[in-house]
């Protein structure tokens, strides 16, 4: 049977783009459908805008430090509207770069929403196309919890489109997306309250890291409610009232409520049943280790599946899938030792097992090495800013099985440690290494 494409991809987010480019490099005829804009969540309202917002927020903490180094007082103010224009321009530039690259590679972009007619046939807003293999890379979308009045709350997409920042905001959620957004908004002058049902923020992180971030954010003015649930939202004439259920009910009045708790696979109207593609109980596409769905010629990657939801993971899954199917190089992705960063203020990053996970797996053989110190950068100030480094080690093998950090350059440092861990680094290897002095990273070699 003759098909229009060797590979057709639904969704031009990070994973879909990576798959299209890699498949084209192998000589495949590739098409890709996108209903909104290339780049998916990462470029449009996720990683890139969030990181730019974190960069903007960090300046507020640098100005006072500069005075300690001899600079004159700086009475600057932040203009959200100017930032938004610059941010939107950057996002649009990325749209153009990716679109141009796809075109240069001969990849056809079809704008519209894709639905399945059968296992080899798609309908893209009325246009019928056929493909030998189909990759679903539609990502996930923000969803709001089932709480009375939640329609008055907003998502991250709406926040980034605001013409001006709210003065006070209540953020529902305690994972890394919620916490980095909370830190950034606080740094930009917004009065922030975080509400999470968990015992602490960043509940999936190492406890020392979570408590360090929580303590620092609290010190910088972010109010955090743990073990707390939002019972209802009520719209007021000049804002929003949140009824919080904890040990006792609390009423919180803010300008805006931001829901950052739930993401759901973006499978609306794909009609997967027409193609024989099954989903899990939580609505994610069921895939095997090769990203194959229950229909052998249909594959899925990224946040629409039941696997780790990170942009670099989606890209790696895309490349592994293409290498296997078109590059005659079958391989699967190793989900161990994937570093995760939290561009909060302060920044945090982690890789490997938490102390609790390690003790559950290795028992009494686990040893932890922890150090908290004031970086030299703050040495000329009276600021009580600390960096926390922590290594989790299996004493039997001496291998480092977890590395966690809060402080400047956490993402860059932990990313490097992740590679060392993947290569089997032991505590002795770190102890006998010589670092760059003076630097934050050198402290890892003296824990």
Residue 246 confidence (pLDDT): 74
**What is the rounded average pLDDT of the residues 262-284?**
92
Q: Is the same domain home to 54 and 93?
A: yes
pLDDT single digits (tens) 360-394? 999 999 999 999 999 999 999 998 899 999 999 99
Residue 82 neighbours by CB under 8 Å, 6+ apart? none
Q: Is the same domain home to 241 and 270?
A: no
pLDDT single digits (tens) 45-64? 999 999 999 999 999 989 99
- Answer yes or no: is 227 within a domain: yes
Q: Is the same domain home to 112 and 153?
A: no
CATH number (domain holding residue 169): 3.50.50.60
Find how far residue 120's CA is from the centre of its chain. Answer: 32
- Answer yes or no: is 340 within a domain: no
**pLDDT for residue 250 is more than 90:** no
pLDDT classification of 247: cutoffs 50, 70, 90: low
The total of structural domains in the chain comes to 3
Residue 405 confidence (pLDDT): 97
**pLDDT for residue 189 is more than 90:** yes
**What is the rounded average pLDDT of the residues 59-76?**
92
**pLDDT for residue 11 is more than 80:** yes
Q: Is the same domain home to 134 and 19?
A: yes
Q: How far apart are the first and last CA of the chain?
A: 63
Residue 57: how many CB atoms within 10 A of its CB?
Answer: 23
b (16+ CB within 10 A) / e for 96-129: eebbeebeeeebbebeebbbbeebbbbbbeeeeb
The mean pLDDT of the chain is 94
pLDDT classification of 268: cutoffs 50, 70, 90: confident
pTM: 0.94
Q: Is the same domain home to 14 and 133?
A: yes
Q: Which of 98, 113, 220, 437 is catalytic?
A: 437
**pLDDT for residue 344 is more than 90:** no
Q: Is the same domain home to 19 and 130?
A: yes
The range of the structural domain enclosing residue 193 comes to 143-261
Least confident of 219-228, 238-247, 284-293: 238-247
CATH number (domain holding residue 391): 3.30.390.30
pLDDT classification of 212: cutoffs 50, 70, 90: very high
Q: Is the same domain home to 380 and 414?
A: yes
**pLDDT for residue 1 is more than 80:** no
Q: Is the same domain home to 364 and 280?
A: no
pLDDT single digits (tens) 91-115? 999 999 999 999 999 999 999 999 9
**pLDDT for residue 248 is more than 80:** no
- Answer yes or no: is 335 within a domain: no
With vertex at residue 308, the alpha carbon angle to CA 298 and CA 91, rounded to the nearest 5 degrees, is 85
**What is the rounded average pLDDT of the residues 209-225?**
95
Q: Is the same domain home to 156 and 223?
A: yes
- Residue 437 bears catalytic tag: yes
Give me the percent of the chain exceeding a pLDDT of 70: 100
Last-in-domain residue among 209, 239, 261: 261
Q: Is the same domain home to 256 and 166?
A: yes
**What is the rounded average pLDDT of the residues 346-367?**
96
In angstroms, rounded to a whole number, what is the distance separating the alpha carbons of residues 83 and 312?
26
């Amino acid at each position: 049977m003759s098909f229009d494409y060797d590979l057709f991809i639904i969704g031009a987010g990070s994973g879909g783009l990576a798959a299209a480019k890699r498949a084209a490099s192998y000589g495949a005829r590739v098409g890709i459908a996108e209903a909104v804009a290339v780049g998916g969540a990462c470029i449009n309202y996720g990683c890139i805008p969030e990181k730019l917002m974190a960069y903007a927020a960090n300046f507020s903490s640098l100005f006072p430090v500069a005075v300690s180094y001899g600079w004159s007082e700086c009475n600057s103010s932040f203009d959200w509207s100017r930032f938004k224009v610059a941010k939107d321009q950057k996002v649009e530039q990325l749209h153009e770069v990716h679109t141009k690259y796809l075109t240069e590679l001969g990849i056809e972009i079809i704008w519209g929403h894709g639905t399945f007619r059968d296992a080899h046939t798609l309908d893209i807003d009325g246009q019928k196309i056929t493909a030998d293999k189909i990759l679903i890379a539609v990502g996930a979308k923000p969803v709001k919890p089932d709480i009375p009045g939640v329609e008055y709350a907003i998502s991250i997409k709406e926040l980034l489109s605001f013409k001006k920042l709210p003065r006070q905001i209540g953020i529902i959620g305690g994972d890394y997306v919620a916490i980095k957004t909370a830190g950034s908004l606080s740094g930009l002058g917004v009065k922030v309250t975080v509400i999470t049902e968990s015992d602490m923020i960043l509940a999936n992180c190492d406890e020392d890291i979570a408590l360090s971030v929580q303590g620092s954010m609290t010190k910088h003015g972010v109010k955090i409610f743990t073990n707390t649930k939002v019972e209802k939202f009520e719209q007021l004439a000049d804002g929003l009232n949140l009824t919080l259920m904890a040990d006792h009910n609390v009423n919180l009045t803010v300008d805006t409520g931001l829901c950052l708790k739930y993401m759901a696979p973006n499978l609306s109207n794909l009609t997967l049943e027409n193609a024989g593609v099954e989903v899990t109980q939580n609505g994610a596409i069921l895939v095997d280790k090769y990203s194959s769905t229950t229909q052998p010629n249909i594959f899925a990657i990224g946040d629409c599946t039941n696997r780790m939801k990170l942009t670099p993971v989606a890209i790696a899954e895309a490349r592994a899938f293409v290498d296997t199917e078109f590059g005659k190089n079958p391989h699967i992705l190793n989900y161990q030792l994937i570093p995760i960063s939290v561009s909060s203020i302060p920044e945090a990053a982690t890789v490997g097992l938490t102390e609790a996970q390690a003790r559950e797996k290795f028992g009494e053989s686990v040893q932890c090495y922890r150090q908290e110190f004031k970086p030299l950068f703050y040495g000329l100030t009276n600021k009580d800013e600390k960096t926390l480094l922590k290594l989790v080690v299996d004493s039997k093998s001496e291998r480092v099985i977890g590395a966690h950090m809060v402080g400047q350059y956490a993402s860059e440092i932990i990313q490097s440690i992740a590679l060392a861990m993947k290569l089997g680094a032991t505590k002795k290897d770190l102890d006998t290494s010589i670092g760059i002095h003076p630097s934050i990273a050198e402290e890892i070699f003296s824990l």
